Amino acid sequence: MIETERLLLRPHIAEDFPGCLAMWQDPQVIRYIGNVPSTEGEAWMRFLSYFGRWELMGYGMFAVIEKDSGDFLGEIGFSDFRRNLGPDFDPFHEGAWVMNQAGQGKGYAFEATAAAHDWLDRKFKPEKTVSIIDPDNAASIKLAGKLGYTETRRDEYKGDAVIVFERFKA
């Protein structure tokens, strides 16, 4: 578990599923992540995959919980999503983040992603981390920049345009 001033980051627990489902069905949240709301079955399979990543790789997506309320706000962490984007991307920890509407606009995403990157840097000491972001997702691109990511190229993933980013440990 990671604790910041306002947040707890921890592996998911069963009670997180309703919040996870609502987030992945919210058109405002997923508009830059495929833009297709998840069915309950699709969200359940995604949710189950979080547990497997932690078990197999020792890292994964953290549930982001607001300390004061206990509310589920989103998911931030790292994975190997097997995107097949090439040797400059595929072998590296991929940073990912998504916040529900209640978690947006309060600085929570930066607070959580910065803490998660610090944790990954200490635990795994990666040479670099990577990420992909929809070119229209200005908030996520700004967050990536604050975290030290830089654009390396433009590409396509599942038929959608993406910007490929990398971040080298300082």
- Strand runs labelled E in 43-159: 61-66, 72-79, 93-99, 128-133, 150-157
Residue 154 lies in a domain: no
Residue 103 lies in a domain: yes
Residue 150 lies in a domain: no
d(CA 85, CA 64): 28
Whole-prediction pTM: 0.94
Quick: pLDDT tens for 99-113.
999 999 999 999 999
CATH number at residue 51: 3.40.630.30
Residue 61's nearest CA partner among 113, 25, 122 is 113
Low-confidence ranges of the chain (pLDDT < 50): none
Domain count, the chain: 1
**Structural domain of residue 76, as residue ranges?**
2-126
Q: Tell me what pLDDT residue 170 has.
A: 64
Residue 14 lies in a domain: yes
3-state DSSP percent of the chain in helix, strand and coil, to 5: 35, 30, 35
Rg (CA), the chain: 15
Residue 51 lies in a domain: yes
Residue 53 lies in a domain: yes
Residue 140 lies in a domain: no
Q: Tell me what pLDDT residue 169 has.
A: 80
Residue 166 lies in a domain: no
